[in-house]
Amino acid sequence: MTVSALTVLGVHGVRNHQPGLTPDQAGTRLAGWWQDGLVKGLSRNAIDEIPPLATEVAYYAHHLNRSTAQGDEDPALLPEPLQQQIIDWTRLLGVPDDTAQGWLTAPARAAVSWTASRYGLDRRPLSILTNALFREVDRYFTDPEARQSVRGEVVDALVRTRPRVVIAHSLGSVVAYEALWSPAATGLAPLDLLITLGSPLAVPGIVFDRLAEHPGPRGIPPGVRRWVNLADPGDVIAVPKGGVARVFEGVTDLPGKQIGLFSYHQVTKYLAAESVAESLRSVV
């Protein structure tokens, strides 16, 4: 008997621009990485036969990418509003008020240095990640044309692939949430499972309060049967630490198991995590 493949649509996070490739080529490259990660997790954690997967990734990074001559590594070179957001983010991570108030010179740089020290991370890659995150998040929320284009890529992929599972990482969880609430998506066949990984959806001010309005409370989008959220305890992007379920109705926050070295918010270890494998097996 032929077993039909489990269709999975991935929505990537920050720092995924693929220079030199067309959007279709970039999506294919990312889909290969995501497929490998999911198969690895299923192989390592599966009790039964591994279900065949058909994985695609909705690629949108080209709509948010802006080449910059400077500031790739130094938060102090970002626009002042983004520097303030970095400081606000650090407060959510637990920086004492007296420490934050003492950052009179290059406070955003000091905030990232404090975070690196607090979580045992190397400052330079964390600075690169932080700059990329706040740049891309800011452009998504302040550039209506870019936001519409990014969201449109995900809606188009939903319509084209009709997936049973959507897996969204980092900023991709924000995009997927808004896309799944759009009229074009709500009319599709029910989605069995939404998995969000390392999601900043619950971050007040910077993300949560800037989400598009929709009917009813923040919660599971129409047509989604189940939403689970996973965040590594060491993922400094997935704040506040209370989880997405704290402010989104109906979400299940999976136990915060250590899935491995934080690895600077990369998706590969998330995809191979035991919790993701168990969630996928629940819909086979």
Q: What residue type is assigned to position 174 of the chain? A: V
pLDDT number for residue 70 = 44
pTM listed for this prediction: 0.94
Cis peptide before 240 (omega within 30 of 0): yes
Residue whose entry in the numeric block shows the structure tokens 């626009």: 79
Phi, psi for 128 (deg, rounded to 5): -65, -45
Question: Residue 277, SS3?
Answer: helix
Q: Give which of 103, 238, 109 is closest to 168, Cα–Cα.
A: 238
pLDDT number for residue 66 = 74
CB count in 10 Å sphere of residue 276:
25
pLDDT number for residue 258 = 64
The whole-angstrom separation of Cα 234 and Cα 9 is 26
Find the Cα–Cα–Cα–Cα dihedral 264, 267, 272, 274, rounded to 10°.
80
pLDDT (tens, 9 = 90+) of the chain, 284 residues, equals: 445 789 999 999 999 999 999 999 999 999 999 999 999 999 887 656 677 899 999 999 999 987 654 446 799 999 999 999 999 999 999 988 888 888 988 999 999 999 999 988 888 989 999 999 999 999 999 999 999 999 999 999 999 999 999 999 999 999 999 999 999 888 887 899 999 999 999 999 999 999 999 988 999 999 999 999 999 888 888 887 778 999 999 999 987 666 654 555 679 889 999 999 999 988 87
